[in-house]
Structure 1
Amino acid sequence: METRQSQVLAGLLGVCVGDALGVPVEFTTREERLRSPVTSMQGYGTYNQPPGTWSDDSSLTFCLAESLCQGFSLDAIAQSFCRWHDQDYWTPHGTVFDIGMTTAAALRRLRWDHVSPLESGGRDERSNGNGSLMRILPMAFYYQSLEFPDLIRRVHQVSSITHAHLRSQMSCGIYISIAIQLLERDDPEPAYFKGIQKIQELYNQPPYTSQLDQFTRVFNGKIAQLSMEKIKSGSYVVHTLEAALWCFLTSTSYSQSVLKAVNLGSDTDTTAAVTGGLAGLYYGVEQIPQEWHDQIARKDNIVDLAQRLASAIASENLTKDK
């Protein structure tokens, strides 16, 4: 039986290892990846970083996880994101080398305009990149501390720090709903079906109904039946959600899931990070290839973070039970 700590570590490492596999080949085409598929942890490439280097996907995931160790505070989470950008906090090698435009704009509003975290995120149609989905996984670990609607409301708030459009919020909500089922030890397909069914109970009402047509392929339960040619792997949040679900549901191991994600090309690190979060939860740390997570930058710090977050979650659950 998995412990809470091992589940947290599996999720965090799942995101991070997928991210690191994708960093060296980010922005390469699917055709390039089909000709020369990634099969192992590589280095250099797109950002000239050593093997095991993770990007903003993992940095912001770790910032969120660390903030949650002190309880839920949207201000603290937002300030942690700013600290990453301004002070290179939770970076693999002491420097920020990748940031999305929507995230950068939101952090400028937080720092320079001193707006609230609930007002900082982009709300227009073009602000639907995958920058909040890529970091949202730690919210799933609080599923036993909060009622489901309350947890999803907080998920929406965390997304809104940078990505406040309903579509981005809902993408995060769908992902977390499925992740919760994996934490409940459902197999991939039942987790997917139960996750989308549960979240639809919230989203089948205004204001979310205005966006439901954007999630038709996710909500019809047939995402795994699509061919690779129908899966897009750019930075649009719905495409990333679809691609991650497709990679996870059509694979039978952690490594197969994340390599499939990387080899879709384009936004390789984020597709693999979002896929890796689900695959890590399901397959566990022991199924992430040892040679991969041994190469991960700051692995000891990540293990320590997982321990601290697991302890914080346990304390919250104990408080709830009293």
Structure 2
Amino acid sequence: MTMQTTPRHDQILDCLLAGAMGDALGADIEFANLAEICARFPQGFADLPIQQGIQGTFTDDTQMTLFTAEGLVRAAVRSTLKRICYPPGVIHHALLRWLVTQGETPRAKVDDIGLVTDRRLNARRAPGLTCLDALRQARNFGEPAVNSSKGCGSIMRVAPIAFVAEDRVRDLAMECSALTHGHPTGQEAAGAWALILRFLADGADLEQAAATHAHSFGAETRDAILRGLQTPADGRPETTEQLGGGWIAEEALSIAIHACRCARDLEHGLAVAVTHSGDSDSTGAIAGNALGLMFPGQARVHRWAAQLECRDLIERMAEDLSLAMSGQMDDLVTRYPGA
């Protein structure tokens, strides 16, 4: 493995920005079939779509990713101040605050602090039913969901976890996936993707990162990684279509790996990731997180980043997550009271 050369803060920002760009790019075509997408965009994608009168709107994928990042920051602050912390519980609390932004009332009592106070996030954009239901039912922070779902909601929000201590990445991603998704494959796909992102951040190439972990998970996750690695990297939508719709975690994992292998640059990779009959916003978000790391700096200067809503929030959470993961707590202790 080669060593990272991009500063960690810039990597986190590239990862989160590119994920949000992929999410926003796919949001307008999530429920369209491939023929409809190709008819609407015969020359490809020029700009991020306008939805609800706002250009560059992202969905629950990016919303939940930001709340996951906030949970990680609060967990780091809590550990510093109180010397004891269970990060999945703190992240669960953050996700329950996201649930409030969706007009829901959690059973567990949640604090009115942080991202939840930014009313721009009070936007309900086809959130995953499994995530909604599992969070509605939660009574205690850190309590795993009781269901058998392996929907892609388990994997689409794990990117921030790639930047925690290396020996915690897999377990924490799986534990946080289990907060909403009870099926082992959903949890394993999340763990595998977080590890792949970490390897990319540390200097590995995509195929090396994926192949390294293919055989350390169960059969469904292993086979999904191998499909993503072995499918012809021709960039043709018909080829991506063979990997499924991305509605379930292992299909989303395959599509993300495939899109990254096809990518000539960030924009091309995002286009491959969303151009299929399926969950285009989620596959765009998931692949985007990796593409941001594969093409350092491109997300920060791309025209689509300038079109994103709430870019300031993404930049702030990238900054705070970078500080938290590097142990620079002085400012965070002040800005995250009650952690």
Identify which of 162, 177, 180 aligns with 1:159: 177
Q: Distance in 2 between matches of 1:31 and 1:156?
A: 36
Question: Could you tell me which amino acid in structure 2 is paired with residue 257 of structure 1?
Answer: G
Q: Distance in 1 between matches of 2:194 and 2:62?
A: 16
Q: Distance in 2 between matches of 1:92 and 1:54?
A: 11
Aligned-residue offset at 1:25: 1.6
Matches within 5 A, 1:31-180: 31-37=35-41, 38-44=44-50, 48-70=52-74, 71=76, 73-87=87-101, 89=116, 92=120, 94-110=122-138, 114-119=139-144, 121-124=145-148, 127-142=149-164, 145-147=165-167, 150-180=168-198
Aligned-residue offset at 1:302: 1.3
Q: In structure 2, do the counterparts of structure 1 residues 41 and 265 end up closer, same or farther at CA, with 3 Å as the change threshold?
A: farther
Q: Is the 8 A contact 2:170 2:192 kept in 1?
A: no
Q: Distance in 1 between matches of 2:241 and 2:16?
A: 29
Aligned-residue offset at 1:265: 3.2
Aligned-residue offset at 1:231: 1.9
Q: Distance in 2 between matches of 1:53 and 1:85?
A: 18
Q: Distance in 1 between matches of 2:18 and 2:172?
A: 22
Q: Distance in 2 between matches of 1:174 and 1:275?
A: 13
Q: Distance in 2 between matches of 1:59 and 1:77?
A: 13
Gaps of 5+ in 1: 204-210, 318-322
Q: Is the 8 A contact 1:224 1:250 kept in 2?
A: no
Q: Is the 8 A contact 2:71 2:92 kept in 1?
A: no
Matches within 5 A, 1:242-253: 242-253=254-265
Matches within 5 A, 1:217-232: 217-219=224-226, 222-225=229-232, 227-232=239-244
Q: Does 1:215 align with 2:222?
A: yes
Deviation string for 1:286-311 (max 9, x for gaps)?
Answer: 35652100011111221111111101
Deviation string for 1:207-241 (max 9, x for gaps)?
Answer: xxxx4145324247743437334221241111111
Deviation string for 1:100-121 (max 9, x for gaps)?
Answer: 11101111111xxx145333x2
Q: Distance in 1 between matches of 2:223 and 2:12?
A: 31
Q: TM-score, normalised by structure 2?
A: 0.80
Q: Name the SS for the 1:96 alignment partner.
A: coil
Q: Does 1:15 align with 2:19?
A: yes
Aligned-residue offset at 1:20: 0.7
Report what 2:110 is aligned to.
none
Deviation string for 1:78-109 (max 9, x for gaps)?
Answer: 12111112135367453223211110111111
Give the length in aligned residue pairs.
294
Q: Name the SS for the 2:156 alignment partner.
A: helix
Report what 1:314 is aligned to.
326
Q: Is the 8 A contact 2:27 2:59 kept in 1?
A: yes
Q: Is the 8 A contact 1:82 1:107 kept in 2?
A: yes
Question: After alignment, is 254-263 or 70-79 more displaced?
Answer: 70-79
Deviation string for 1:110-167 (max 9, x for gaps)?
Answer: 1xxx145333x2432xx1110020000111011xx242xx431211110011012100
Q: Distance in 2 between matches of 1:74 and 1:49?
A: 36
Q: Is the 8 A contact 2:22 2:270 kept in 1?
A: yes
Gaps of 5+ in 2: 77-85, 103-115, 234-238, 330-339
Q: Is the 8 A contact 1:118 1:157 kept in 2?
A: no
Q: In structure 2, do the counterparts of structure 1 residues 146 and 190 end up closer, same or farther at CA, with 3 Å as the change threshold?
A: closer
Q: In structure 2, do the counterparts of structure 1 residues 289 and 76 end up closer, same or farther at CA, with 3 Å as the change threshold?
A: same
Q: Is the 8 A contact 2:211 2:225 kept in 1?
A: no
Q: % of aligned pairs identical?
A: 24
Q: Distance in 1 between matches of 2:169 and 2:265?
A: 29
Aligned-residue offset at 1:23: 1.1
Q: TM-score, normalised by structure 1?
A: 0.84
Q: In structure 2, do the counterparts of structure 1 residues 220 and 274 end up closer, same or farther at CA, with 3 Å as the change threshold?
A: closer
Q: Is the 8 A contact 1:122 1:165 kept in 2?
A: no
Q: In structure 2, do the counterparts of structure 1 residues 241 and 220 end up closer, same or farther at CA, with 3 Å as the change threshold?
A: closer
Question: Could you tell me which amino acid in structure 2 is paired with residue 101 of structure 1?
Answer: L
Q: Distance in 2 between matches of 1:194 and 1:270?
A: 24
Q: Name the SS for the 2:326 alignment partner.
A: helix
Question: Could you tell me which amino acid in structure 2 is paired with residue 151 of structure 1?
Answer: V
